[in-house]
Amino acid sequence: MEEVNALLQGFGVALSPLNLLLMFVGVILGIIIGVLPGLGGANGVAILLPLTFSMAQQPGGTTSAIILLSCIYWGALFGGAITSILFNIPGEPWSVATTFDGHPLAQLGRAGSALTAAFTSSFFGALVAVIMITFLSPVVAGFALRFGPPEFFSVYLLTFCAFVGMSGGNAAKTIASMMIGFALAAVGLDSVTGTLRLTFGSTSLLKGFDFLIAVIGLFGIGEILETLEEGLAFKGASARINFKVVLETWKELPRYWATSLRSAAVGCFMGIVPGGATPASFMSYGLARRLSKDGNDFGSGKVEGVVAPETAAHAAGTSALLPMITLGVPGSPTAAVLLGGLLIWGLQPGPLLFVEKPDFVWGLIASMYLGNIAGLIVVLTCVPLFAAILRIPFSIIAPVIIVICAIGAYTVHNSMFDVYLMVAFGVLGYAFKKLGYPLAPMVLALVLGDRAEENFRNAIKGSQGDLTVFFSNGLVGGLTSFALLLLFWPLIRAGWRVVLGKS
Amino acid sequence: MEKGEQGSAASVKAVEIGVAVVIFLFGALVVFDSYRVGAKWGDDGPQAGYFPLYVGLLICFASATIFVRAFRNSALAAESFVSRDELKKILTVLVPTVVYVSLIAYLGFYVASTLYIAYFMWHLGKYAWIKIAPVSIGVSVAFFLIFEIWFSVPLPKGPLEAALGLN
């Protein structure tokens, strides 16, 4: 029950008037970000991160700052559903599966029910994930206190191998994207030897590539270019939710308890293992269609078809923070940006955070409960306002978003070079998206590159260059083996099928 | 493949191969630079290029795989990566964006942003100047208030701000 006490203290931190205000501000900003094309959880948080630099220097300020940023993340998760259901445009990749049944429901005139179902199941998914974080994270952190460099490197290896094995896309493209991230992370001054790497005499490259710039460019500018191609007009269903519809939908929802629980479990698992929210939402939609009584009618506007992906996406998005705070390994690009924030504020994410900064950790966890409640209230009451944002003509909203991205890129280091880089990353992001290169591994590699390399170096320094150090005891050996298993999972599965097919 | 009928500017195959070659060259650059700074075992542990060397090799390996696969897949040649129409649309956004970010250094953030938003509304939205002026100027003034005054985050300023004494 130690966790409950710690959590109650966390609520004490999170319930201060300033933090409550920041929570609502964050959620509202997050929903706007989630609704707008070109702005999403990852680059929205990246753009607003520099604004928290001064906030984080005040006493207790880091907690307020993380509450603001994480609430933007929750808001963005909620906001993605609005555009999917009303406009058939997924505002975020994890809302794609929500369009399958959500938009048909809106066309049937049941937009209110679809939105209520989406928000409520998002909230449920998040709640399950937060409860899991509350009780599991101290255990994981305690376990990770015993980690040395080889163990940490094998955890990173596990993260990256999971991307290759679980993504289901083109493995070569995943590896290429990830390794480009590692190479870009290596640019600049090598902190161990003091050597300049990959700078080729350019002074602008001395500091290396900041992942925040990459996130803003890849996800922001890249997405604007992609949206542009698809056409400029948004035509949407009207968004009115009245209290009666909410109550009616809530009465209907308990029928789908099995789908909810299953989707929450899928989401929690996929969030911790960095599969991410997007595959989780597709997977639980597929499972629900196969297991539901009226699975054949999925796609024609079934509330259950909205419940499944939304629960899983929100559970995955939330549980992605578990490895971020306990191990310093983010489970999603947005979690990676939050991790970058912690580093900039001078906090070292990882198991020691629970020992050294309990106020911060438990304040954050408590704010996850409160932030999601705030989010649910805001979305249920203000949907028409947010939907109206999408009715602003593209020719106004697009340049404004690009200006916001440029400001965000500039303020990270007050450098114009970063703004030029952002445009370059935007073009790269557009080409990569169209060719099916995943962007998340690149961002994660950019964030974790230096730390992964440092742990790798320290590990093999200790073993005098002997790579068997990654199998030297049960713990690190198990992690490494699991990583390799995930890496070769598609091959193993294909081989298994061949064996089964022959017998 | 309706896109192909409108006249494709580039096939998926061409772009796929082109991007794979660029990535391969980038990987080769990383390998080359890792050897330059030393990718062996130094006196006090691994040298600076030890880890990046493998990163570079993996980039080369992955891009070579993508290249070979794209080369063999003849179906990709018929698929359109981007139609001429789409490419034109993208360039009408990309070119002004490049001009915009290069103007910031001379005109300052706020003036450049005003011009950029105005250009978009005029060229893409076909608005009348009576609507363009208040929106583009209003947005920039709002940003000025938010960043300079509320958050006190200074952005680059140009001659106009200097003339108005706002530096």
* pLDDT (tens digit per residue) in A26-79: 999 999 888 887 787 788 899 888 888 888 888 878 889 999 999 998 998 888
Alpha helices in A216-332 (DSSP H): 222-230, 243-252, 257-272, 277-291, 303-319, 321-327
Do residue B134 and residue B78 come from a single domain? Answer: no
Q: Tell whether B92 is covered by a domain.
A: no
Do residue B71 and residue B116 come from a single domain? Answer: no
Q: Which residue type does A366 have?
A: A
Please count the CA atoms within 13 angstroms of the CA of A176 that sit on its side-chain side: 29
Nearest by CB to A193, from B48, B61, B94: name it: B48
For residue B3, what pLDDT is reported?
Answer: 42
ipTM of the modeled complex: 0.91
Surface of A (359-418) touching B: CB under 8 A: 393-396, 398-400, 402-403, 406-407, 410-411, 414, 416
Do residue B120 and residue B160 come from a single domain? Answer: yes
Do residue B7 and residue B50 come from a single domain? Answer: yes
* CA-to-CA separations, A37 to A92, A107, A223, B9, B118, in angstroms, rounded: 9, 22, 7, 25, 20
Which residues in chain A come in under a pLDDT of 70?
A: 1, 91-92, 167-169, 230-240, 274-276, 502-503
* Interface with B, mutate which of A52, A161, A221, A403 (most B CBs under 10 A): A403
Q: Tell whether B132 is covered by a domain.
A: yes
For residue A231, what pLDDT is reported?
Answer: 60
* CA-to-CA separations, B75 to A230, A239, A267, A464, B80, in angstroms, rounded: 23, 43, 36, 50, 11
* Domains contained in chain B, number: 2
Do residue B39 and residue B76 come from a single domain? Answer: yes
Q: Is A228 left (phi over 0), alpha (psi -120 to 50) or beta?
A: alpha
Q: Which residues pair with B83 in a beta bridge?
A: B8
Pairing of strands B80-83, B41-42: unpaired
Gap from B163 CA to chain A (nearest CA, Å): 22
For residue A334, what pLDDT is reported?
Answer: 86
Q: Is A464 left (phi over 0), alpha (psi -120 to 50) or beta?
A: left
Look up the domain containing A80 and give its range: 2-502
Are A410 and B19 an interchain contact pair (Cβ–Cβ within 8 Å)?
no
For residue B5, what pLDDT is reported?
Answer: 47
Do residue B74 and residue B117 come from a single domain? Answer: no
For residue B22, what pLDDT is reported?
Answer: 95
Chain A CB contacts of B58 below 8 Å = 175, 179
* Domains contained in chain A, number: 1
Are A394 and B124 an interchain contact pair (Cβ–Cβ within 8 Å)?
yes
Look up the domain containing B130 and give its range: 108-164
Q: B40: which DSSP letter? A: S
Determine the Cα angle at A382 with ends A34 and A313, to 5°: 40
What is chain B's pLDDT, residue by residue, as a tens digit (167 residues)?
Answer: 344 445 788 888 889 999 999 999 999 999 999 988 887 877 777 888 888 999 999 999 999 999 999 988 888 888 888 888 888 888 888 999 999 999 998 999 999 999 999 999 998 888 899 999 999 999 999 999 988 888 778 888 888 888 887 76
pLDDT in tens, A448-482: 888 888 888 888 888 887 888 888 888 888 889 98
Q: Is B35 on the interface with A (CB under 8 A)?
A: no
Do residue B79 and residue B34 come from a single domain? Answer: yes
Q: Is B63 on the interface with A (CB under 8 A)?
A: yes
Do residue B73 and residue B10 come from a single domain? Answer: yes
Query: What is the spatial distance between Cα A229 and Cα B5, in angstroms, rounded to a whole number?
Result: 16
First to last CA, chain B: 55
Sign of the dihedral defined by the CA atoms of residues A443, A444, A447, A452, in that order: negative
Do residue B10 and residue B60 come from a single domain? Answer: yes
Are A400 and B139 an interchain contact pair (Cβ–Cβ within 8 Å)?
yes
* CA-to-CA separations, B8 to B77, B81, B154, in angstroms, rounded: 11, 7, 45
* CA-to-CA separations, A283 to A166, A175, A275, in angstroms, rounded: 12, 23, 11
Q: Are A335 and A324 in contact (CB under 8 A)?
A: yes
Nearest by CB to B16, from A193, A402, A435: name it: A435
Pairing of strands B8-11, B80-83: antiparallel
Q: Which residue type does A389 have?
A: I
Q: Is A228 on the interface with B (CB under 8 A)?
A: yes
For residue B1, what pLDDT is reported?
Answer: 36
